Each structure stands twice: as C-alpha cells, then as structure tokens.
Chain A
Amino acid sequence: MGVITLVMLGSLVVLAVAGAVLWGQQAGRADPSAVLRAPTTGHPLGTDRLGRDLLARLLAATWPSLLPAVAATLLGAAAGITLGALTAVVDGRAARLLGALITLLLAFPALLVAMFLAALFGAGTGGAVCALAVACAPGFARITQTLAAQVAGTDFMAAARVLGLRRHRLLLRHVLPHIAEPLMLNTTVAAGSSLVALSGLSFLGLGTQPPSYDWGLLLSQGLDRVYTEPLPAVAPGIAIVYAAVAFQLLGEMLAGAAARQARPHPVDEPVAHPEPVAHLVRTDRPASVDHVLEVADLRVALPTADGVVRPVRGVTLALRRGEMVGLVGESGSGKSLTALAIADLLPDGARATWGRHRFLGTDTESLSGKERRRQLATGMAMVFQNPASAFNPSLRIGTQLTEAVRAHRGTPRAEAVEQALAQLRRVALPGGRRLLRSRPFQLSGGQRQRVAIASASMMRPGLIIADEPTTALDVTVQRQIMDLLRRIRRDDGTAILFISHDIALVADACDRVLVMYGGTIVESLPAPELAAGARHPYTRMLVASVPDLAAERDHPLHSIEGGPPDPSGAAPGCPFHDRCPHRLDRCAVESPVLSPLGPGHEVACWQPPAAAPSHGRRENEEAQK
C-alpha cells in the first residue's frame, strides 16, 4: 500500500509542477473550428465551447486545484490548533470560554459556513480558500483541545507550571510535541476533504471564476452536456477522487508508521530451555494429592519493542489446600506474569511453557481448551490490584457477582442472588440488595475490593490468586482486606497465592513466602522466619531495606546497589550474582537450583550465608520471646 500511495502522490506532484508548463499553452488555445467536440484521438476528452482541449485543461488544472486545497487546510489547521492548544495553558475561566467558543463554532455545518463565507468574501479563489479555512478550523480546534487536555492533566505539565514557565514555552515545549503526530495525520486527511469541498464551491460558482479554471469548474462545465457526452464531466470527477484518495492513503500510511513504532516484535523463535536438566529433577517428584496447584518449570516469553524478553525462567511452586502463600518480588521480577500464566490470562503474543501444570489434581495439559477454561473458571479466581478497573462500570454489581455461578453451575437467578447476598454479608458489606443494584462507581475503593473478594469466593474456588490486592488501598482498608482473605481461607479451605511487593505485609499475613528475583524463585521459607532466618542474600538485603516502625530510627536503611537483571535472560549464572556481596566465581557461570536447607526452607544459592545477620539479631530475640 505504501508503494501505491507514493506513486499516486508522486504523480500528483509531477502533474502539479509540470502540468501548467507542458499543457498550459495548449489549454488556453481556443480553436473556433473545433467547438464542443466529442472525444477523438486528437482530443481524448473532447473540447469545450471555445474549442480548447479538455485533457490539456484537466492536467494543467492540477496546480490551481491542489494548491488552494492545501492552503485552506494549513490555514484552518493553524488557526484551529492555536485555538485548541490555548485551552490547555490559559487559566480556568478563559479556558472555559474558549471551550464554549469552539463548541459553538462546531455547531454550524462546515460546508454551509464555507458557502456562506465564500459568498460573503466574494466569488474567487482567495475568497473560497479563506472561507474553507474558517470552516475547517473548529474541527481542528476540537481535536486539539481534546488531545491537549490529556497533556494538560499530566504531572510533567504540573511540574512545568510549578517552575513558573511562561505560556508560549508550555505550549511549544510540552503541549505541541505530544500532540503533533495525530494532528499531522488529521491535517493530511483534511486536505483531501478540502479538495473535494473546494471543487464543490467552484462547481457551485462560488470558487474559481473563469477565465481561471480548476477541476471543480471543469466538472461544472462538463455537466451541461453529461447526457450526450459523459467523459468531459466524468474525467474531472475522477481527478478529484484520485487526489482525495491519495491524501487519505497518505494519512493511513502515516498512522500505520506511527503504530508500527510502538508495536512489539512477535515471538517467532521457539522458547528455548537453556538448562532443563536441573529442573527436570524436580519435575519428577511424585504428585501430592493434597496440592491444589502444582507448577514445575514455568517459563514465559514475552515480545516487546526491544525484542523477546523472558520474565519468568523456570518457576516451580506448589500450594496445599487452605495454604496462604506470599509471592514477593520487585517490579520486573516476573511475579505478576507467573500469576497470569497460572490463570491462563497471559497477554497476546506471550508464550508459556510448563514442565508440569497440575490444578486440582488434573494435569491441565491433558485437557482440551474448553475443559481447561471451565476448570479454571470454576476452580480459580483472581483479585486484581486496581479495584477501579476490575469491574465493568456499566453493569450492576449484582449481575457481575452472579454471572459466574449462573453460567457455569446453571444456578437459577434467585438462588444466585441469595448466594451473592451471603457473600456480601461475609465480606461485611452492608446494604444487601441495594448494593447489588448499585454500579461500581458508587462504591469506594475498599468497598469495591471487598466486592471483588466476594465475587472471587462465589464459586468456592480451590485457589484464589490475589495480585497486589491492597496496593492501591489505605493501610486501614488494607488490614480489612487481609483479614477477609484469611477468613475465606479458613472457612472454605481455599488456597491463596498472594502476590505483593510489600515484604512486611506478606510476612505478616502468609504461611509461606516465595521470594522471586529475575524470573526465578530464589528462596522459599516459612513467613515467620523471613525477618531473621532468610538465607538468600537478596532476601536478606530486601528485609534490611524495609523501614520498620519498630526498628531504631537512626538505623541506616540498606539499599541494593546495581540494577535489575537483564530481562532477555540471556546471561548465564545466578541472576543476582552481579549485585551479590557474597558471590563466588561459580555464580557467574552456573545458575543455582532451589534446594532444601531446612524444614520448609529452600534456597537457590551456591553458598547461602549463615542465618541471623548482626542487624537482625534484635528482632530475632524478640520474635522468640
């Protein structure tokens, strides 16, 4: 398509530049002996009433047809963009007035305004261009206003205001560069419409006046004898359509190029297993009947704009019935993608491979797609980080709470509503049926998250995956949510995989903690041991970096030097080795495997440093009290 567009545009440019030079004379030469001729070989489109060759006139009219259209668009765009962008940098009242003005101008149909103004300015090319510019300005102003409003609300604009930058600087430096791309697309497309509109004005006699001529005027003149001789009317029409389509295609091409810049490369290579041997050992362990979920050697590959990354590289975990397991890690550690892979919710293009994936006692690999979705829908539920976007804002709470049981269990409506009411009572939300009739935006964040938990436990699932469910909430609400999750775990025997970056919260709430780093689990230990008994250097540094209300205030906080590991996962060795204070030569070459260290305690480290570091001793003593 790009080639076609470029060929069409190129031909237009060549015609516009060369047309008047090559055919200008022929187009103006009157031949009284050949008036109103039908198409012949000498005159492929025939002649007009003065005997001038119509093909020559058509080709010579390219420049006078295109130039006014482009000029009108640019003038209109300049005026409209200025008006619209001003709304982002002026203060409240002026911005509202400008907005009202734009809305008012938009209320008039553009073509009618153009005709009215063209008549007012006087017939002629100049008048038509001005009229069209004024007519298309409000459209540009509105688009610019909408785009600029998005920029005006950002923090970097607020920061620029706090710096006291002057308005023209705000406009030129911060607003316009961000909206330039869509505006350029829009201008290109508008040029096509302007050409059509301008030809329309000429056709109506409001634009170009004889003896000048453009495509619109040629069309108008040809129309007089369209029934006897269609070609003199059809040819200018084709020229107009050709040019308009060329502009539209250019717009499409620019839009496509802009979109391609942002689009990631797909995963085309097979997901490689660099060191499968070490993990296979663990995959062969006998499956325990008590386990709700067993995952072995989970790997995820994700395409991004900078190439394929491997955010999860061999995760093995198992959850027993009624167990609450915390999955802790920093951003980019792969904890959320692990959860999404388990729930079969990976984003498009991502690929997951498993050594083993057993859920509720069945091997999910052996199930068909439909059975698998059904098993996940009835046996697993998710609670997401942002309660504001976890619900469909246009549906009532009741509909969203009951749809899963009604769809999968075939529960009648009345019974489903009763179950929903019971769940709402359990999450301590008052209001009963009134709440079921409300819509998500009527609830606070904490209430919404409680509804999300009620919704998750409607199916009495074997496993709830809670992905940062309290991160967007206040501490007091956070505590309510944690208490709720614990209650559901205790009452229903539901296993909970609790994903969080908040190591203190996880230590406080969970039975067991899995620490993730660089796409692998580096340590698995009982939660009470986290504060003092962690053995992996990363876990220890993480613990030391958490400010604690109970610790000495002047006790310095430790931070972990260096950056996160390479997301492409190409480097060999332990992912933490370049930041690790205890590293050995071996660490850079060979990746350690999660191996047992004590009861319920596994570490992936070649030489785990001894427990109870000096700064943890005080806490250790207190924990033993």
Chain B
Amino acid sequence: MSTGSGLALYDVTVRHHGPLGPITAVDGVSLDVPQGTTVGLVGESGSGKSTLARAVVGLAPLCAGRITVSGREYGGRRVADRRRLGQQVQLVFQDPDTALDPRMTVRQSLAESAGAFVRLDRRSRDQRIGGLLDLVGLDTGCADRLPRQLSGGQRQRVAVARALAVDPAVLIADEVTSALDVSVRAALLTMLRDLQRRMGFAMLFISHDLAAVRHVSDAVAVMYLGRIVEIAAAESLLSGPRHPYTRTLLSAVPSLHAGRRPAGEPLLAGEVPDPAAPPAGCRFHPRCPVGPDRHPGRDVCAVRDPQREATGRPHRAACHFPYGTDDRPPEARHVPPDGDGDRTPRTPEDLPS
C-alpha cells in the first residue's frame, strides 16, 4: 500500500501502562500519507488519535508495527535515532499557550529549531528566521517578543514555523485549531494548505472538527477505540459515509444553516467502552445503531472483527453491514422546527441509557 514517499504506518500498536494493566491505545493501525497530501484523522477523545501522533514522532514507544518516512524506517530509542527522526517528522501541538517555551523569544525558539540539525552562522540564522516568519505570515517585528505578548493565532503560527524550520518531510498537526477562535482558525487552515502546496510535505491533520478536516484533507480516516473504522477520499467519506460510527459523528456536527439538523439519526447509545477491555468482535457493536442490539440476527458483529475484510478498496469501512454508497448522507435531510423551536422530534424513550 505504500507509495514509497511520505509517511506510512504498518500495523502500528501502542500500549500505555495504565493503573489497571496495559491499555492498547492504538491497535494495529495502517495508514499511508503520500508526499504532498493531507490525511485527516478524526475521532473522539480516547480514540487514540493523539497517541498515534506521539508514536509517529517518537514520543510514545511502538509496541508493534513499523513506521516509515520516505521509505526509510525510523526506530530505536537512542538520542541519535530520535534526531534522525526529528529531521523528518515534526509535530504541531494543540495548545499554542504551552507549546512555546514562555521564557524564550520567538527568535530564540526558531533559532533553536533551525539550528538543531545544521550549523548556522549569525547572518544565515537571522535570514532563516526572517524567512520562517514570512512563511507563516508574521511580521519580523514579532521576533523579539515573548509568547505571552502574542495572540493565540500568532503563537500557533510561530509553532508551525518552528516545526517547519527543520524542513520536515512529514508534518503532524494535532488539533492545531481547536484552541483558536473561529476567525483565526480559518486563516490558519488556509495557511497550512498553502504551505503544503509550496513545501510539499505530507501532513497528518488530527482533529475532532470535521468541517476543518474536510477543508484541508485529501483523505480522511476515522478512528474509534484505537482502530481505523473507515478511510476514504475526503469527499467520498464525508458525503457518503459507510460506517455507522462515521454517520453518527457526521450527524452530530452542528450547522450554521438552520433547519439542516438531522432527525431520526440515532444518537450513540451508552459511553465509550473502557479501552483496557474493548468489546470483542467489532469494537463499535454495543453502541451501533445498525448492530446486533437493534437488529437481531446480526450476531456476527459481536464475534468477528470486520477489520480484516476491509482492506484493498479505495473506500474502506470496517463494518459487516456498511451503508451503501447510494444512501443519502445524513446532513441533507430537512426537519422543520416544532412549536417550541425544537427540532428534535425524539421522545424521552429514545434517549440513550
């Protein structure tokens, strides 16, 4: 499945040591992010998407599987190994307030990063810093400010510049927009897309904001409890989701456009299961709206893992009973508001228990 360039993950498994024994946060994830493209990784908290990001940059040790960047495998836990990996893969963190050292000026932060792998004399370093600030659309006057003197959006731009300073082949953006205001968010998304076009890095864009993911991604992967349940080209997945989890996720996204709120899309029942003891078979089956709880006779879901059957197709959904491609996407239905202005015609009995 690898094209040889960009980032490729093969059966990556990451385990944490929880207080009650090991927790498999990422379970056999294979993913391909070709050079110059963006894969959006979507999932709720606890789905393992951030752990996956940390594993790719070497902050969390792999338990099994391989990660290759531009066809080369990077492993090992010595400082030298980490340096080789750091030159190829960089991570931008969620919270710009904590991602920059509060005691270092923008110039110091960028200089540290730019000089991490190449020796730079004073002049070329200043040039490089000016170039980086220009790249992320910041004024050179920002260089001597401390992070607390910048706005959230500016801080996040500095964090992006710091990551790009080493000229990585792969950029991982871990919820980079979720701590920002909407007006700033749009500018950052546009900038990331622009930068990718100019620099050609592969990007793994992790977010729970489906609209943002759709805006920047070429392909989208949906994670649930440590596994990828659906992966396809962005338009194909978001307009014709085949996995029931993706459908519920999409239907829960609020829309600015009134009256679009879908009804009849079942809410997810129950809570996310304990990742230390995930359900057998399909991990989604206890909460699934088309699973054995609502459709008797679909016992296969509780027994057999649909993961294996799903390989090899462009639009892969790890489900025994996926929705057809001709089913209408959930957000296209129109529900008129009722007398109370309440657009959810559900009765109390439908509530999750």
Contact surface of A with B, Cβ cutoff 8 Å: 91, 154-156, 158-167, 173-174, 177-178, 330-331, 428, 430, 444-447, 474-480, 482-483, 486-487, 490, 501-505, 507-509, 511, 527-528, 530-531, 541-543, 545-550, 553, 556-560, 563-564, 619, 622-623, 625
Partner of B267, one of A479, A508, A511: A479
In the assembled complex, the CB of A622 is this many whole angstroms from the nearest CB of chain B, namely: 7
Contact surface of B with A, Cβ cutoff 8 Å: 44-45, 54, 57-59, 77, 79, 82-87, 89-91, 93-95, 98-104, 112-113, 116-117, 151-152, 159, 162-163, 166, 181-187, 189-190, 208-212, 214-215, 234-235, 238, 248-250, 252-261, 267-268, 271-272, 331, 334, 340-342, 344, 346, 348, 351-353
Pairwise interchain contact B259-A528, C-beta atoms closer than 8 A: yes
Pairwise interchain contact A490-B254, C-beta atoms closer than 8 A: no
Pairwise interchain contact A549-B98, C-beta atoms closer than 8 A: no
Known: A164-B79, A531-B257, A553-B235. A155 touches B98 (CB 8 A): yes
Pairwise interchain contact A545-B101, C-beta atoms closer than 8 A: no
Pairwise interchain contact B93-A159, C-beta atoms closer than 8 A: yes
In the assembled complex, the Cα of A164 lies from the Cα of B214 at a distance in Å of 32
Pairwise interchain contact A162-B253, C-beta atoms closer than 8 A: no
Known: A155-B99, A156-B100, A164-B79. A507 touches B254 (CB 8 A): yes
Pairwise interchain contact A549-B250, C-beta atoms closer than 8 A: yes
In the assembled complex, the Cα of A556 lies from the Cα of B186 at a distance in Å of 9
In the assembled complex, the Cα of A557 lies from the Cα of B184 at a distance in Å of 10
Pairwise interchain contact B87-A162, C-beta atoms closer than 8 A: no
Pairwise interchain contact B267-A161, C-beta atoms closer than 8 A: no
Residues of B within 8 A of A505 (CB): 254
In the assembled complex, the CB of A534 is this many whole angstroms from the nearest CB of chain B, namely: 10
Pairwise interchain contact B186-A557, C-beta atoms closer than 8 A: yes
Please name the residue on chain B nearest to A491 by beta carbon. Answer: B348
Closest 3 CB pairs of A and B: A164-B83, A164-B86, A559-B187
In the assembled complex, the CB of B291 is this many whole angstroms from the nearest CB of chain A, namely: 16
Partner of A557, one of B189, B254, B260: B189
Pairwise interchain contact A547-B215, C-beta atoms closer than 8 A: yes
**How many pairs of A and B residues are in contact by the CB < 8 Å rule?**
200
In the assembled complex, the Cα of A548 lies from the Cα of B331 at a distance in Å of 11
Pairwise interchain contact A164-B342, C-beta atoms closer than 8 A: no
Pairwise interchain contact B253-A178, C-beta atoms closer than 8 A: no
Partner of B186, one of A331, A479, A547, A553: A547
Please name the residue on chain B nearest to A528 by beta carbon. Answer: B258
Pairwise interchain contact A550-B98, C-beta atoms closer than 8 A: no
Pairwise interchain contact B352-A549, C-beta atoms closer than 8 A: no
Residues of B within 8 A of A530 (CB): 256, 258
Pairwise interchain contact A483-B79, C-beta atoms closer than 8 A: no
In the assembled complex, the CB of A569 is this many whole angstroms from the nearest CB of chain B, namely: 18
Pairwise interchain contact A163-B166, C-beta atoms closer than 8 A: yes
Pairwise interchain contact B189-A547, C-beta atoms closer than 8 A: yes
In the assembled complex, the Cα of A166 lies from the Cα of B80 at a distance in Å of 9
Pairwise interchain contact A559-B184, C-beta atoms closer than 8 A: yes
Q: Name the residue in A155, A163, A483, A541 with the highest tally of chain B Cβ atoms < 10 Å from its Cβ.
A: A163
Q: Name the residue in A479, A528, A560, A625 with the highest tally of chain B Cβ atoms < 10 Å from its Cβ.
A: A479
Residues of B within 8 A of A91 (CB): 77
Residues of B within 8 A of A528 (CB): 258-259
Pairwise interchain contact B95-A155, C-beta atoms closer than 8 A: yes
Pairwise interchain contact A474-B44, C-beta atoms closer than 8 A: yes
Please name the residue on chain B nearest to A563 by beta carbon. Answer: B151
Please name the residue on chain A nearest to B245 by beta carbon. Answer: A476
In the assembled complex, the CB of A607 is this many whole angstroms from the nearest CB of chain B, namely: 22
**28 A-B residue pairings within 8 Å (CB atoms):** A155-B98, A156-B102, A159-B163, A160-B112, A162-B58, A163-B112, A163-B166, A164-B82, A164-B86, A166-B79, A330-B182, A444-B271, A445-B45, A475-B208, A479-B252, A483-B344, A487-B348, A490-B340, A490-B342, A507-B256, A507-B257, A528-B259, A545-B183, A547-B189, A547-B209, A547-B215, A557-B215, A623-B258
Pairwise interchain contact A161-B87, C-beta atoms closer than 8 A: no
In the assembled complex, the CB of A432 is this many whole angstroms from the nearest CB of chain B, namely: 12
Q: Name the residue in A161, A173, A531, A549 with the highest tally of chain B Cβ atoms < 10 Å from its Cβ.
A: A549
Known: A475-B252, A543-B256, A547-B211. A174 touches B101 (CB 8 A): yes
Pairwise interchain contact B93-A158, C-beta atoms closer than 8 A: yes
Known: A91-B77, A547-B212, A553-B235. A623 touches B248 (CB 8 A): no
Partner of B116, one of A165, A482, A559, A564: A165
Residues of A within 8 A of B117 (CB): 164
Residues of B within 8 A of A550 (CB): 255, 257, 260, 331
Known: A156-B100, A531-B258. A486 touches B344 (CB 8 A): yes
In the assembled complex, the Cα of A528 lies from the Cα of B257 at a distance in Å of 7
Residues of B within 8 A of A527 (CB): 258
Pairwise interchain contact B99-A162, C-beta atoms closer than 8 A: no
In the assembled complex, the CB of B258 is this many whole angstroms from the nearest CB of chain A, namely: 4
Pairwise interchain contact B98-A446, C-beta atoms closer than 8 A: no
Residues of B within 8 A of A559 (CB): 183-184, 186-187, 190
Please name the residue on chain B nearest to A92 by beta carbon. Answer: B61
Pairwise interchain contact B267-A501, C-beta atoms closer than 8 A: no
In the assembled complex, the CB of B133 is this many whole angstroms from the nearest CB of chain A, namely: 17
In the assembled complex, the Cα of A557 lies from the Cα of B187 at a distance in Å of 7
Pairwise interchain contact A476-B268, C-beta atoms closer than 8 A: yes
In the assembled complex, the CB of A168 is this many whole angstroms from the nearest CB of chain B, namely: 11
In the assembled complex, the CB of A126 is this many whole angstroms from the nearest CB of chain B, namely: 38
Q: A91-B77, A160-B101, A546-B186 are in contact. List 8 more A-B contacts (CB 8 A).
A: A156-B100, A330-B181, A474-B44, A549-B238, A559-B186, A564-B151, A619-B256, A625-B334
In the assembled complex, the Cα of A476 lies from the Cα of B288 at a distance in Å of 13
In the assembled complex, the Cα of A289 lies from the Cα of B299 at a distance in Å of 59
Residues of A within 8 A of B254 (CB): 478-479, 482, 502, 504-505, 507-509
In the assembled complex, the CB of B250 is this many whole angstroms from the nearest CB of chain A, namely: 7
Pairwise interchain contact A501-B181, C-beta atoms closer than 8 A: yes
In the assembled complex, the Cα of A558 lies from the Cα of B187 at a distance in Å of 7
Residues of B within 8 A of A177 (CB): 103
Partner of A178, one of B103, B184, B211: B103
Please name the residue on chain A nearest to B162 by beta carbon. Answer: A159
In the assembled complex, the CB of B222 is this many whole angstroms from the nearest CB of chain A, namely: 12
Pairwise interchain contact A507-B211, C-beta atoms closer than 8 A: no
Residues of B within 8 A of A154 (CB): 98
Residues of B within 8 A of A163 (CB): 86, 90, 112-113, 116, 166
Please name the residue on chain A nearest to B184 by beta carbon. Answer: A559
Please name the residue on chain B nearest to A470 by beta carbon. Answer: B254
Residues of B within 8 A of A479 (CB): 252, 254, 267
Pairwise interchain contact A503-B256, C-beta atoms closer than 8 A: yes
Residues of B within 8 A of A155 (CB): 93-95, 98-99
In the assembled complex, the Cα of A331 lies from the Cα of B54 at a distance in Å of 29
In the assembled complex, the CB of A10 is this many whole angstroms from the nearest CB of chain B, namely: 32
In the assembled complex, the CB of A575 is this many whole angstroms from the nearest CB of chain B, namely: 14
Pairwise interchain contact B87-A474, C-beta atoms closer than 8 A: no
In the assembled complex, the CB of B210 is this many whole angstroms from the nearest CB of chain A, namely: 6
Q: Name the residue in B100, B184, B209, B341 with the highest tally of chain A Cβ atoms < 10 Å from its Cβ.
A: B341
Pairwise interchain contact B352-A428, C-beta atoms closer than 8 A: yes
In the assembled complex, the Cα of A490 lies from the Cα of B211 at a distance in Å of 30
In the assembled complex, the Cα of A361 lies from the Cα of B308 at a distance in Å of 64
Please name the residue on chain A nearest to B183 by beta carbon. Answer: A560
In the assembled complex, the Cα of A159 lies from the Cα of B171 at a distance in Å of 13
Known: A331-B152, A547-B189. A476 touches B93 (CB 8 A): no
Please name the residue on chain B nearest to A532 by beta carbon. Answer: B257
In the assembled complex, the CB of A471 is this many whole angstroms from the nearest CB of chain B, namely: 9
Pairwise interchain contact A480-B267, C-beta atoms closer than 8 A: yes
Pairwise interchain contact A549-B211, C-beta atoms closer than 8 A: yes
In the assembled complex, the Cα of A558 lies from the Cα of B184 at a distance in Å of 9
Pairwise interchain contact A508-B331, C-beta atoms closer than 8 A: no
Residues of B within 8 A of A542 (CB): 182-183
Please name the residue on chain A nearest to B217 by beta carbon. Answer: A553
Pairwise interchain contact A446-B268, C-beta atoms closer than 8 A: no
